[in-house]
Amino acid sequence: MIPGPINYSPEVLQAMSHPSESHVGPAFVKVFGECLEMLRQVFQTSDKGSQPFILNGSGTLGWDFVAANLVEPGDDVLVLHTGYFSNSFAECFETYGMKALQVKAPVGQRPSLEEVEDMLKQKAYKMITITHCDTSTGVLSDIKAIAELVRRISPNTLIVVDGVCSVGCEDIQFDSWALDLVLTGSQKALGAPAGLSIIMASKRAISVYENRKSPPASYYASMKKWLPIMQNYEARRPSYFATPAVQIIHALNQALKEILKIGMQSQIAQHKETSTKVKSKIAAMGLKTVCIDQSEGSNGMTAVYLPPGVQNTDLLPKVAAKGVIFAAGLHKEIATKYFRIGHMGVSVTRKERGDIDQALKALQESLNECGYVCTA
Amino acid sequence: MIPGPINYSPEVLQAMSHPSESHVGPAFVKVFGECLEMLRQVFQTSDKGSQPFILNGSGTLGWDFVAANLVEPGDDVLVLHTGYFSNSFAECFETYGMKALQVKAPVGQRPSLEEVEDMLKQKAYKMITITHCDTSTGVLSDIKAIAELVRRISPNTLIVVDGVCSVGCEDIQFDSWALDLVLTGSQKALGAPAGLSIIMASKRAISVYENRKSPPASYYASMKKWLPIMQNYEARRPSYFATPAVQIIHALNQALKEILKIGMQSQIAQHKETSTKVKSKIAAMGLKTVCIDQSEGSNGMTAVYLPPGVQNTDLLPKVAAKGVIFAAGLHKEIATKYFRIGHMGVSVTRKERGDIDQALKALQESLNECGYVCTA
């Protein structure tokens, strides 16, 4: 029950152990092509100019993909900061020679729309990045409202969303909200094992890449290399740049089919319902979430402050002894003061597993064992 | 029977579908740490200064790792060319601002030691790269002899080996031959599924990285980011930069245990024996290999010219109908004129599978069906 890698369905795990296949054979080309098609539905885009990418790498590779292809050295990037991952994304931009200015919010909060508006009025940013759900805090950004703001104040600014902990459990309307790029990993709400960097780019983003003055600043993360490969796989034509992670793509195919069978709106609604339940139980135990305003909490995870006198080193092993794994804190300002619960994928949509109830029960009992009497 | 992804043992496939685990939990940290330790044996290094890396990506990511960490813009790199992959490695260096000079050999051959010696005497190259076995031609480079030459003529030049199609089936004595970096992928002779970029760096390579003037030119492939992570995992301490491909690392752990149980010397000898058998059967069928001098042929694969009048589009489907998959040509100068047979991993070491005999029989029968009467 950590915010990724999450629990996988037995069918997804079965797909992982599919017998070996050639990465350019017709059977696998079909599997890969279907994944690309299904991603269009997950991201709610029907614009034929939108381009999905499935790269062999962690979600982090998506940052290099953005920094090496869509911006050029000297460009100004505005990074909305909601935790650990915004800092890292900014560092990635600096690695490639961009100037990344962060709008920082206090821990547990997000920059206000007024602050963002002020920043956008001061300078013509080439790009704005928004961490949809920062996995270190569980704070959710309002990407729809920010995108509207950007389109109104600074229409040429590219809108990039880090959706690592949101794609598959939060509403993301790629076309309607006019997003330019959303990146994620395979191991969170999409319900596939870790190993794939998944990206959706808009027609406008592709055009910005095509009109860049300098060549892409990475070889492995080069859009020049990957764009024709993705177009070919989706058209069921074999194509080669670097060997894809065949087994994980089989698993992703199964995981995406499971999500689309549920339907995106039901998938998101079930995650919202579960998140509300978890957060209300947490409150009933007398605990506070890192996310201060409950209306800004993510659907897929909850970061919870430890009660006074309880340490992660005491609590988490007691929880683990009951068969439940939570994650420790990650945000460096408060790392030892909180822990994180993931509630994504089959733990949410297959209620017969009982994962959520087992996790909440394990938490309450372990807190009692640590000497903290839950008020619930 | 393609030169990767290869067939996996049932135990490796079973390991792929291990139940989901936290990437920082003690059970997985042990699995990852063991992989790093076992790689030291595979690369035959006992120097504590040697550093293994397991990154989430294709073998290709290893090129970015080399280009972004061990050389700097303007540095001269000598690339020994034996096929498709040398061209690509040179392009990767150019992406990062190095001057990559290729010593090209005609198709099916490798640069002579005399040519390499001449080049090394003309300029102080920061790095030389050697594709151990170019998967497009099956030509094997003599890395031991080249390394001796470099140490004699230009001792400060870093020696980098692309071992994507050689690690696990060719002799690579990392310490004895004084190599600086060898990179590979998980899906060839190591016998694990595609998805991992595997690297062994020498103490000297680490020191060159530590003394570079500019910061690493990639975020995702940054040695600065990954070095402490690998050191921590090997010391059984959880550590985080980007989420590792947990399931594939489980599979790699199993695959490496299988190789080390056989023993590196026996593993290599069995591949050599199988390769000799395949190549002699190919010759007996009246076919020519792309590799001209048989003493320069790789242990893990054989690239074979089509006989007159036979096309891959006719031959390969007939072979496939017999349950055997070969790969088409890849080297652009001769792509339609040849095909490739992989003979690595369990197809070699588990003779009871009968993979090699089945493949050779399927080839001979299919050639006959194509109207080519084998002389065998």
> Could you report the per-residue pLDDT of B92-128, keeping only the tens digit for each?
999 999 999 999 999 999 999 999 999 999 999 999 9
- Distance between CA atoms of residues B88 and B199, nearest Å: 18
Cβ under 8 Å to A: B residues 205-264: 215-222, 240-248
Residues 6+ apart with CB under 8 A from B140: B110, B132, B133, B166, B170, B291, B296, B297, B298, B299
Token digits of residue B263: 């023993």
Q: Quick one: pLDDT band at residue A299, thresholds 50, 70, 90?
A: very high
- Distance between CA atoms of residues A114 and A97, nearest Å: 28
Token digits of residue A42: 């997950």
Which residues are A131's β-sheet partners?
A162
Partner-chain residue, chosen from A67, A221, A325, that has the shortest CB–CB distance to B25: A325
Does residue B209 have a pLDDT over 60? yes
Q: A124: distance to nearest CA of chain B, Å?
A: 25
Give the residue-averaged pLDDT of B207-229.
97
For chain B, what percent of residues have pLDDT higher than 90? Answer: 98
Q: Answer yes or no: do A327 and B220 touch at CB < 8 A.
A: no
Taking CB atoms and an 8 Å cutoff, what residues of chain B touch A60? 219-220, 241-243
**CB of A198 less than 8 A from some CB of B:** no
Which of A54, A69, A223, A243 should be substituted to probe chain B, the one whose Cβ sees the most B Cβ atoms within 10 Å?
A: A243
Pick left, alpha or beta for residue A233 (phi over 0 → left; psi -120 to 50 → alpha; otherwise beta).
Answer: alpha
**Nearest-CA neighbor of B143 among B159, B120, B126?**
B159
> Could you report the per-residue pLDDT of A51-62, keeping only the tens digit for each?
999 999 999 999
Taking CB atoms and an 8 Å cutoff, what residues of chain B touch A23? 5, 194
Q: Answer yes or no: do B95 and A216 touch at CB < 8 A.
A: yes
CA angle A24, A242, B86 (to 5 degrees): 115
Alpha helices in chain B (DSSP H): 10-16, 26-42, 61-69, 84-95, 113-122, 143-153, 203-210, 223-234, 246-262, 264-284, 312-320, 346-349, 355-369
**CB of A339 less than 8 A from some CB of B:** no
Partner-chain residue, chosen from B5, B57, B193, that has the shortest CB–CB distance to A220: B57
> Could you report the per-residue pLDDT of B142-156, keeping only the tens digit for each?
999 999 999 999 999
Does residue A376 have a pLDDT over 60? no
Residue of chain B whose Cα is closest to the Cα of A61: B220
Q: Answer yes or no: do B194 and A6 touch at CB < 8 A.
A: no
> Could you report the per-residue pLDDT of A199-231, keeping only the tens digit for each?
999 999 999 999 999 999 999 999 999 999 999
Pick left, alpha or beta for residue B245 (phi over 0 → left; psi -120 to 50 → alpha; otherwise beta).
Answer: beta
Does residue B237 have a pLDDT over 80? yes
pLDDT of amino acid B21: 92
**CB of B335 less than 8 A from some CB of A:** no
> Could you report the per-residue pLDDT of A24-36, keeping only the tens digit for each?
999 999 999 999 9
Residues 6+ apart with CB under 8 A from A351: none
**CB of A61 less than 8 A from some CB of B:** yes
For chain A, what percent of residues have pLDDT higher than 90? Answer: 98
Alpha helices in chain A (DSSP H): 10-16, 26-42, 61-69, 84-95, 113-122, 143-153, 203-210, 223-234, 246-262, 264-284, 312-321, 346-349, 355-369
pLDDT of amino acid B132: 97
For chain B, what percent of residues have pLDDT higher than 70? Answer: 99
Residues 6+ apart with CB under 8 A from B112: none
Q: Quick one: pLDDT band at residue A373, thresholds 50, 70, 90?
A: confident
Q: Quick one: pLDDT band at residue B375, thresholds 50, 70, 90?
A: low
Q: A244: distance to nearest CA of chain B, Å?
A: 7
**Nearest-CA neighbor of A201 among A50, A324, A40?**
A50
Q: Answer yes or no: do A242 and B59 touch at CB < 8 A.
A: yes
Q: B375: distance to nearest CA of chain A, Å?
A: 30
Partner-chain residue, chosen from B6, B17, B248, that has the shortest CB–CB distance to A13: B17
Q: Answer yes or no: do A13 and B8 touch at CB < 8 A.
A: no
- Distance between CA atoms of residues B105 and B208, nearest Å: 30
Which of A56, A65, A66 should be substituted to probe chain B, the one whose Cβ sees the most B Cβ atoms within 10 Å?
A: A56
User: How far from B307 is each of A159, B288, B292, B373, CA to CA, in Å?
Assistant: 55, 8, 16, 10
Note whether A139 and A109 are within 8 A (CB). yes
Residues 6+ apart with CB under 8 A from A295: none
Q: B53: distance to nearest CA of chain A, Å?
A: 14
Q: Answer yes or no: do A60 and B187 touch at CB < 8 A.
A: no
- Type and span of the H or E element at B303: strand B301-305
- Distance between CA atoms of residues B115 and A5, nearest Å: 51
- Distance between CA atoms of residues B305 and B23, nearest Å: 46
Mean per-residue pLDDT over chain A, rounded? 97
Residue of chain A whose Cα is closest to the Cα of B247: A193
3-class DSSP state for residue B265? helix
For chain A, what percent of residues have pLDDT higher than 70? Answer: 99
Q: Answer yes or no: do B58 and A247 touch at CB < 8 A.
A: no
Taking CB atoms and an 8 Å cutoff, what residues of chain A touch B66? none
- Distance between CA atoms of residues B251 and B230, nearest Å: 18
Which residues are A183's β-sheet partners?
A162, A199
Partner-chain residue, chosen from A6, A63, A222, that has the shortest CB–CB distance to B219: A63
DSSP characters over A200-234? EE-HHHHHHHHT-SSPPS-STT-HHHHHHHHHHHH
Residue of chain A whose Cα is closest to the Cα of B11: A17
Q: Answer yes or no: do B5 and A242 touch at CB < 8 A.
A: no
Question: Counting one residue from A and one from B, how many pairs have CB atoms under 8 Å apart?
Answer: 177
Taking CB atoms and an 8 Å cutoff, what residues of chain B touch A215? 95
Q: Answer yes or no: do B22 and A8 touch at CB < 8 A.
A: no
Q: Quick one: pLDDT band at residue B374, thresholds 50, 70, 90?
A: confident
Partner-chain residue, chosen from A14, A195, A217, that has the shortest CB–CB distance to B17: A14
Count of residues in chain A: 376
pLDDT of amino acid B373: 87
Give the residue-averaged pLDDT of A157-186.
98
- Distance between CA atoms of residues B41 and B43, nearest Å: 5
pLDDT of amino acid A374: 79
Mean per-residue pLDDT over chain B, rounded? 97
Q: Answer yes or no: do A220 and B58 touch at CB < 8 A.
A: yes
- Distance between CA atoms of residues A253 and A51, nearest Å: 17
Residue of chain B whose Cα is closest to the Cα of A6: B20
- Distance between CA atoms of residues A55 and A110, nearest Å: 30
> Could you report the per-residue pLDDT of B266-319, keeping only the tens digit for each?
999 999 999 999 999 999 999 999 999 999 999 999 999 999 999 999 999 999
**CB of B193 less than 8 A from some CB of A:** yes
Q: To 10 degrees, what angle do helices B143-153 and B113-122 make?
A: 30
> Could you report the per-residue pLDDT of B160-182, keeping only the tens digit for each?
999 999 999 999 999 999 999 99
Taking CB atoms and an 8 Å cutoff, what residues of chain B touch A219? 60, 63-64, 67, 91-92, 95-96
Q: Quick one: pLDDT band at residue A375, thresholds 50, 70, 90?
A: low
